[in-house]
Structure 1
Amino acid sequence: MNDLVAAQRQFGTGPLSRVAAIVYRLIVVELLLLACVLPGLVPALLLARDASNLPLYAVCAIPLGPALSAALYAIGQHRPDLTDLNPAVDFWHGYRANLGPVLRIWLPLLAGLTIVAVNLAYFGAAGVPSWWAALLVLIAVTAAVWGGNALVITSVFAFRTRDVARLAAYFLTRTPGAALGVLALLVVAAGITAYASEAVLALAGSVLALLLLRTTRPMTSAIEKEFTQ
């Protein structure tokens, strides 16, 4: 009996099983992520890449926030045991639980970034000093990194929106390595979109979510230790 129990414990916890477990979770999460962003992805692929369509691109990106949050939650619930896999259950639980909180962060962020992008696209017609463009870029980059932090915090923890906003801003300087990591992932995502398409970016969604979780681990560890105990 002891040998049987030992064998059962060994199954599903070895190195190969751990790799299989995370690959399986990423595949399932990717499929569910694609299903959730499809209503926005299809119209985005049909839009011409023109500055006049920036507001429409923002509307198409609305489903991305809740879907990415659900992916972050589901991947964050991963356990390296092949016999204990419920990625679909975790994904939908995260989607339902975080839908409202994520939209309260995601919609203002999209609106703000769209305003900045439109201003930059038509910067020459505005007749303002050139340093204003650099300031707008700095604002956009800071807001995007802040949004990445806020999305992770909302997906992993249950804080009020105003507390999420404060923590996301606080950890921009508290954990600069994590902030730079988020910025690097945003650059990669922008590069994939610019040189390939939104569809290719969507196909890499679960992997990017995993990398975002790993990158922001210093932030989430500090929050768990200092603000949840």
Structure 2
Amino acid sequence: MQKRKEFGDGLLFRLTNYIYCLLMTNIYFVLSNMIFLFFFMTLKPSFSNITIYFLALTLTGPSISALLYSIGKLIREKELSPLKDFFHGYKINFKDTMKFWLPLLLVLYILFVDLQYFNANPSTINNVLSAVFLIGIILMIILSMYAFLINAGFKFRLKDIWKLSIYYSFKKVKITFGNLGIVIISMFLTSIISDVLIVCIPSLVCYLFMLNSKEIMEDIKVNFCQPQKIQVNQKI
């Protein structure tokens, strides 16, 4: 005789629970990025404001790690305490995230400024240099995606985070392009629909990103963490 399903086992309950968790973590992510969003929504889109944008992004790194930590737990355990887990992930990842986030912001700032300079002064050599800096920006974005992913799930030294980011960027090309595609499509939709979309989809984008990267997380556990010495940032 088939056992009766307990409350919480039904598809509808699981679906509503996922929607609730994604919605609440999205709200906490937005609240933790109010400084950047204020300038993003109020300033006129102009390259002259790039310094303000980058300064406003200073605290965005830890909130990205917190979002990845929360969504990772939701996928892994099928449940989440949005308020508790988001800010727990923010707290335990804050220091390690800032170690790579601040240098990353500085490098991206320099690359964007140089790219704008060469685009504003067209010539054969400047066009070539523009392409080089554009490729550099794309590579840094790819590496940063893996850095956030690894940092949110594991406790590695900074240099090991970057080594693993480079390693998986080239080893898992399909996943790399999938994650990059998620980011590009999200930015494209935001640009053609409304800037307001940027506050509505972070948790959904993160969910797709984590699902696409699930194979990498498992690969890291198997190949780079000794069972007795695994240091996973899942301190519940």
TM-score normalised by structure 1 residue count: 0.89
Closer, same or farther: CA 193–114 of 1 in aligned 2, 3 Å: farther
Q: CA deviation at 1:121?
A: 1.6
Matched, 1:173 2:159: no
| DSSP 3-state at the match of 1:158 | coil
Q: In terms of mean alpha carbon deviation, does 31-40 or 14-23 score higher?
A: 14-23
Unaligned runs of 5+ in 1: none
Q: CA deviation at 1:193?
A: 4.2
8 Å CA contact retained: 2:183, 2:205: no
C-alpha distance in 2, partners of 1:139/1:65? 20
1:51-130, aligned counterparts within 5 Å? 51-78=47-74, 79-80=77-78, 85-123=80-118, 124-125=120-121, 128-130=125-127
C-alpha distance in 1, partners of 2:190/2:159? 31
Q: CA deviation at 1:126?
A: 7.6
C-alpha distance in 2, partners of 1:10/1:228? 36
Runs (4 or more) in structure 1 with deviation over 6 Å come to: none
Closer, same or farther: CA 118–41 of 1 in aligned 2, 3 Å: same
1:1-229, aligned counterparts within 5 Å? 10-78=6-74, 79-80=77-78, 85-123=80-118, 124-125=120-121, 128-229=125-226
- The one-letter amino acid of 2:221's match is E
Query: Sequence identity, in percent?
Result: 26
Q: CA deviation at 1:92?
A: 0.9
Q: In terms of mean alpha carbon deviation, does 117-126 or 155-164 score higher?
A: 117-126
C-alpha distance in 1, partners of 2:109/2:92? 27
C-alpha distance in 2, partners of 1:98/1:217? 20
- The one-letter amino acid of 1:160's match is R
| DSSP 3-state at the match of 1:62 | coil
8 Å CA contact retained: 1:12, 1:18: yes
Q: In terms of mean alpha carbon deviation, does 163-172 or 85-94 score higher?
A: 85-94
C-alpha distance in 1, partners of 2:47/2:116? 6
C-alpha distance in 1, partners of 2:192/2:102? 26
C-alpha distance in 2, partners of 1:25/1:126? 49
Q: CA deviation at 1:186?
A: 2.2
Unaligned runs of 5+ in 2: 227-236
8 Å CA contact retained: 1:29, 1:71: yes
Q: In terms of mean alpha carbon deviation, does 193-202 or 212-221 score higher?
A: 193-202
Q: In terms of mean alpha carbon deviation, does 185-194 or 203-212 score higher?
A: 185-194
Figure out how many residues of one structure are paired with residues of the other and give that number: 221
C-alpha distance in 2, partners of 1:69/1:197? 25
- The one-letter amino acid of 2:63's match is A
8 Å CA contact retained: 1:26, 1:207: yes
